[in-house]
Structure 1
Amino acid sequence: MRVLVTRPEPDASLQAEALRTRGHEPVIAPLLAIEFLSDAKLDLDGVQALIVTSRNALRALAAHPQRAEALKIPVLAVGDATAHGAQELGFREVTIGLGTGAALAGLINQELEPKEGPLLHLTGDVIAFDLGAALEAHGFSVRKTMLYRAAPADALPAEALAELNAGWLDGVILMSPRTARIFAALLAKNGTVTPGKGPICYCLSEAIAEEVAPLGFAVRVAATPREQDVLALLDGEAASSA
């Protein structure tokens, strides 16, 4: 299958390689560009745990002057991939969530006590789920530090747009609601894709699927919010059409 990869780099290239090993043909078209903010101050005083909901926050932390201090604190990761990134960076105490911000908030409510100290959420400039509000409703104090920005693309790459308009792409992988919104907006702005010629949208979650529903394309949603489950959808589609 020929598949559009919309993640920002370096995740786009990593996902493309995973697709190639499964026999698919990726077309890379990052819809976000990541900028790290190395001068962001981490208020770690009294923090009982860090919250990480993106591997990009960990990549920003890797070059941060307070990295060594931060690594001494337990970390709560939104899902498997983020947890793996935290372990690779050097965190020793990593709690793994079930893949969504809402699920992570529930896990924190079960596992931690507000009286043990504030939590620090390492974020980007856009937050898909307001963990702070969800946790503060249960008595937690949540600090936030923005470690990176994600700038949206203002156009699809020429190759990707041409293949979309010609109906040559079998699918597009969408891993966040924001990316899905950007994809839909760019098609509305620059594309001429009709629903009958559109690729299947392989989505990490129902929230992402809702963002592309107006396009009228076929949509598949992963069984759980993990990248491996999104790729499994592609494998299943390829096998059924063989």
Structure 2
Amino acid sequence: MQLLQKESANSFSAAKQSTVLQDRQQVSNNLLPLFVVSSPNTNGTVMLILTTRPTELVEPFNCELQQIGCQTFNESMLTIVPLKWSSKRVSNASALVITSINGAKELAKIEDRHLHVPILAIGLSTAEQMINLGYRNVHYANGTAVDLIRVLCSTLSVSIGPILHVGSKHISVDIASALSLRGYNADHLAVYDAIAAASLSRKTCKLITAGEIDAIVFMSRRTAQTFCMLLEQNNLVQYINQIKAFVMSREIGQDLTSLGWREIFVAPSASRSALVELIQYNMETGTSY
């Protein structure tokens, strides 16, 4: 568990640097097993990576990949659509659980935010977003709902009062229900919808059939599931055995195993920085750690 308090810019910077160092150590020592093993391509060519992030979130990640020498192209699997929601429910909460940057961005619409309320963010990027909104009591987990629940239970008493999970209409883990089973007064507030793509672009289909894509990155189970469904609809599954997949969690990797990817690499921690470093290492060595 990490705690970020906006006492000064330096204190946040130091916390962030510490987390990055921890991520790097995990990357070196704790890579989860690969699902598929094959001979790596070490011909030194530039890697073309297809990312699958929502349009409004992809730029920082693709810039990081470009900085390590990758070429990138994004095919959004989810479109973010804000929903109507009541700010009173947020104001009445004794603690907030934030599981995505999209949820954090929606809170920016509240003019009179209670900045001292405890924030439980799923990962560092989301925590940074909450800090930027002015929240001063921000805790964050390692990027998974399971760890977020653990952090919350070790940080907050069941007597704290109403806890509100601010997130998507579609949830892979019902955090509010899990907390309720542990004695907390918890509820979920959907502030946005994530609408799955109905088709693949012609450019993506051509890149896949031409064998030009070296790797595809998935940061959520729903993104991976949607992409696999569209591959099958477009009769593209036969080309996947030449493409690597880089995923943020083992659960995401499990959703891909039936299609016969060349390799599936799982980041050692569910963070963007861990994914980028894993991809960079693979580019340099043609293998995993």
Instruction: Give your verdict on TM over 0.5.
Output: yes
Q: What are the equivalent positions in structure 2 for 1:115-126 lying under 5 Å apart? A: 115-126=159-170
> 1:67 and 1:157 mapped to 2: Cα distance?
39
Q: 1:214 to 1:100 in 2, by over 3 A?
A: same
Match of 1:147? Answer: 191
List alignment gaps of at least 5 residues for structure 1: none
Q: Find the partner of 2:213 among 151, 160, 169.
A: 169
> 2:73 and 2:91 mapped to 1: Cα distance?
45
Q: 1:40 to 1:196 in 2, by over 3 A?
A: closer
Aligned pair 1:113/2:141, yes or no? no
SS at match of 1:145: strand
Q: Find the partner of 2:236 among 160, 174, 192.
A: 192
Contact 2:98 2:121 in 1 (8 A): yes
Contact 1:80 1:97 in 2 (8 A): yes
Q: 1:67 to 1:180 in 2, by over 3 A?
A: farther
> 2:166 and 2:74 mapped to 1: Cα distance?
27
Match of 1:227? Answer: 272
Residue 118 of structure 2 aligns with an amino acid whose one-letter code is P
> 1:100 and 1:125 mapped to 2: Cα distance?
18
Match of 2:139? Answer: 95
Q: What are the equivalent positions in structure 2 for 1:1-242 lying under 5 Å apart? A: 1-37=47-83, 39-42=84-87, 43-44=89-90, 46-62=92-108, 64=109, 66-194=110-238, 197-217=241-261, 218-241=263-286
Shift of 1:129: 1.2
Q: TM-score, normalised by structure 2?
A: 0.79
> 1:45 and 1:61 mapped to 2: Cα distance?
10
SS at match of 1:10: helix
Shift of 1:47: 2.2
Q: TM-score, normalised by structure 1?
A: 0.93
> 1:29 and 1:106 mapped to 2: Cα distance?
34
Shift of 1:16: 1.2
Superposition misfits of 4+ residues, deviation over 4 angstroms: none
Q: How many matched pairs?
A: 239
Residue 15 of structure 1 aligns with an amino acid whose one-letter code is F
Bigger CA drift: 117-126 or 156-165? 156-165
Shift of 1:67: 4.2
Shift of 1:85: 1.0
SS at match of 2:193: strand
Residue 50 of structure 1 aligns with an amino acid whose one-letter code is L
Residue 231 of structure 2 aligns with an amino acid whose one-letter code is L
RMSD across aligned positions (CA): 1.6
Q: Which has the higher contact order (CA 8 A, sep 6+)?
A: 2
Shift of 1:214: 0.9
> 1:240 and 1:44 mapped to 2: Cα distance?
48
Q: 1:178 to 1:145 in 2, by over 3 A?
A: same
